[in-house]
A and B are shown apart, each in its own frame.
Chain A
Amino acid sequence: EAQVTQNPRYLITVTGKKLTVTCSQNMNHEYMSWYRQDPGLGLRQIYYSMNVEVTDKGDVPEGYKVSRKEKRNFPLILESPSPNQTSLYFCASRPTGGLGLEQYFGPGTRLTVT
């Protein structure tokens, strides 16, 4: 089954404790992206990657890091989480090329930073 998976689905952590949220897709997509969803703000892009070893900042990159060493994986790293990073996080992927191709979303990771 074609899908985007994220782990963990739920995470409660404390301020300053480094964490990684994994994202993996099995559709051989070149493009991957991370979003955060906050009430009243919709989804905002954190980082994206056009292909292996190619990443760039989205609209709200502060406090986050990413890496793209393999095509299928795009982990999101919070080196020193803070309470304002409490949010619902989504990973998405799509193939590049073509017109208006659909992005496929993972099920989300709900992060709480205390």
Chain B
Amino acid sequence: AQSVTQLDSQVPVFEEAPVELRCNYSSSVSVYLFWYVQYPNQGLQLLLKYLSGSTLVKGINGFEAEFNKSQTSFHLRKPSVHISDTAEYFCAVSVPGGGNKLTFGTGTQLKVEL
């Protein structure tokens, strides 16, 4: 079975600073990787996904993530954050042919301060 670890439960950062949210996964087979964002009192929205090919994936709102197979990581980055990026971010993994199931990490609360 696959699992996802998000070690940082909260990440405070000042506006316009860069940020990295960490995600590590465990799986015995190849995986698809996702980052979702949850703004306050809203559902989850897909930021980006890695299926195959280029290991650097660009998503919405200026976010990007890099798939590192050797380190089993899929860290999310943004070079300059805005107040509006304050939200909870979830890393998730699914397995090809795994019945569409998404396994989520525990989430990282990003708080952007002035």
Question: A residues within 8 Å of B by Cβ?
Answer: 4, 31, 33, 35, 40-45, 48, 50, 56, 58, 90, 92, 94, 96, 99-103, 105-108
Q: Which residues of A contact B42 (CB under 8 A)?
A: 107-108
Complex Cα distance A25/B90, Å? 23
Among the stretches B11-19, B61-69, B70-78, B101-109, the one at the interface with A is B101-109
B9 interface contact, C-beta 8 A: yes
CB contact list, B71-95 vs A, under 8 A: 90, 94
Q: How many A-B residue pairs have CB under 8 A?
A: 61
Does A105 lie within 8 Å of B43, measured CB to CB? Answer: yes
Return the 6 tightest CB-CB contacts between A and B, nearest first.
Answer: A105-B43, A100-B32, A42-B104, A42-B106, A100-B51, A105-B44
Q: How far is the CB of B36 from chain A (nearest CB, A)?
A: 8
- Find out whether the CB atom of A99 lies under 8 angstroms from the CB atom of B100: no
- Tell me which residues across on chain B come within 8 A of A56, comparing CB atoms: 99
Grouping DSSP codes into helix (H, G, I), strand (E, B) and loop, the A interface class, with mixed when no group exceeds half, is strand
- Does the CB pair B101–A90 fall under 8 Å? no
Contact residue range for chain B? 20 to 34
Choose one: A45, A96, A99; the contact of B102 (CB below 8 Å). Answer: A45
Q: Do B90 and A42 touch (CB < 8 A)?
A: yes
Q: Does the CB pair B9–A40 fall under 8 Å?
A: yes
Complex CA distance for A40 and B42, rounded to whole angstroms = 18
| Nearest-CB residue, chain A, relative to B91 | A42
Q: Check if B7 is an interface residue, CB within 8 A of chain A.
A: no
For residue A91, give the distance in angstroms from its CB to the closest CB of chain B: 9
Q: List 12 A-B contacts (CB under 8 A).
A: A35-B104, A41-B106, A43-B90, A48-B100, A96-B100, A99-B32, A99-B51, A100-B32, A100-B94, A105-B44, A106-B43, A107-B41
B43→A103 contact, CB < 8 A:
no
**Residues of A contacting B32 with CB < 8 Å?**
99-100
